[in-house]
Structure 1
């Protein structure tokens, strides 16, 4: 955890901003469209930010967008970093540390995920109530700086209950049927086998993906409030007898983008 690198990155970002964002947004595969809705945007490509990794995945733009959304000052990551890209857990979660340095207290984390729960269907939105770290690694391993958070952080309420309740209320107001469930974080980049999905369902997982868990762990360690939203982009292996592709993920997120935008904007408006 390099405090100097964090300070350099946050100072650089701060120098480009005319606002003080209070909400951070991490936008997953195909969901970066929310960044286009930000008014009076300041756009900062990741490659310009000291010590920032670069996004290498299709559907991830690779830039920060800061400005106003629904009357709130926000900063959004259009594209995130993944463990499977070869980045360390510290690199994957570096932007969350930087957000904390910028004074952000709440973060909305979104992702595209495979549906494990058989009652789900592609295009559903799921509020994350809890997660299972199935990545075999943790971004908090190594030296701990007490200034950043406790050595042994409590993980019993990672996803803010008040935020979940608020999001459910927003969905109801929009007449939107929304799911709730447990997100399982796997390393990827290969999709799971049908037997692995069966195992994850037995363990209590409702959706599976290759992100979110590291960022949310660090946000919790840093004392940030978290709301997690998964877009169920496909049913996981073995549920429907068909191969899984990343293009299907992008296609589904494209189809539900209007609903997703409407929903997240309403939540931000009421936060």
Structure 2
């Protein structure tokens, strides 16, 4: 079977090519850096190699401003290696759910046992202020799809590992936790939709992460999720929503987020 029709084989081929291009045979931890989190790449450790994502099977150049479009191998202080995925494919890009989760499947095939997923998101819970980092405690997947194919019944209890969240909170005790909601996008939500999300337990809303977390769990990885609250969600603030606001919030918070993520990775 060609790798085009077998996502596991495609991930294995991508991991093999990644090892060849970076010279790193195995990556122990992987991070997908969403809006606002890209600066962490420079403080986590020593960059060994950085390759354009579209040189690796199954990856595409990033289609969203605020994402680097590269895959970076970083040597950590303890001698292990982290894979930084700056080429997230979003569900709304229309490439299908396999493309959305190809990065995490490649990370697993490259040897990663821990997957850190970060994003920029809207604050549904008024307790979360713009510019704040929030741990994802659980999620609501409202994309009406799953990355899991066939009769493979994957347990999602403790999907965002309590062990990893405890480590993160030991590093930064002020971190709040919340339930993340993934919607398909690319449009922002209406105030009525945000009211609905609050009613069903959502506290953070965005357009990524949940599908990736499911695929990471299927692949046997532990998952840590972190959201940068870039803005109050629709109806929670006075101003209209726009992507430039998301990017600006990310730029403003970037140094603080990078320092936080660097400390968390060092503690894992």
Answer yes or no: same fold by TM over 0.5.
yes
By how many angstroms is 1:255 displaced? 1.1
TM-score normalised by structure 1 residue count: 0.92
For residues 133-162 of structure 1, give each alpha carbon's deviation from its aligned partner in whole angstroms, at most 9, with x where no partner exists.
01111111x346xxxxxx100011101101
Mapped contact 2:36–2:257 kept (Cα < 8 A): no
Mapped contact 2:141–2:181 kept (Cα < 8 A): yes
2:8 maps to 1:3: yes
Structure 1 counterpart SS, 2:228:
strand
Distance 1:23 1:198, change over 3 A: same
Structure 2 counterpart SS, 1:114:
strand
Structure 1 counterpart SS, 2:64:
coil
Mapped contact 1:70–1:265 kept (Cα < 8 A): no
Gaps of 5+ in 1: 145-150
Alignment match of 2:128 (pick from 112, 116, 120): 120
Give the alignment's Cα RMSD to 1 decimal. 1.4
Aligned mates of 1:245, 1:201 — CA distance in 2: 21
2:171 maps to 1:170: yes
Distance 1:70 1:242, change over 3 A: farther
Gaps of 5+ in 2: 1-5
By how many angstroms is 1:182 displaced? 0.2
Comparing 14-23 with 118-127, greater Cα deviation is found at: 14-23
Alignment match of 2:224 (pick from 202, 223, 227): 227
Aligned mates of 1:257, 1:161 — CA distance in 2: 25
Q: Which residue of 1 aligns with 2:3?
A: none
Q: Which residue of 2 aligns with 1:68?
A: 75
Aligned mates of 2:74, 2:111 — CA distance in 1: 15
Aligned mates of 1:6, 1:18 — CA distance in 2: 18
Alignment length, in residue pairs? 260
Structure 1 counterpart SS, 2:130:
coil
2:57 maps to 1:58: no
Matches of residues 11-160 of structure 1 in structure 2 within 5 Å? 11-19=16-24, 20-37=26-43, 38-71=45-78, 72-140=80-148, 142-143=149-150, 151-160=152-161
Mapped contact 2:160–2:225 kept (Cα < 8 A): yes
TM-score normalised by structure 2 residue count: 0.93
Mapped contact 1:6–1:101 kept (Cα < 8 A): yes
2:204 maps to 1:198: no
2:265 maps to 1:268: yes
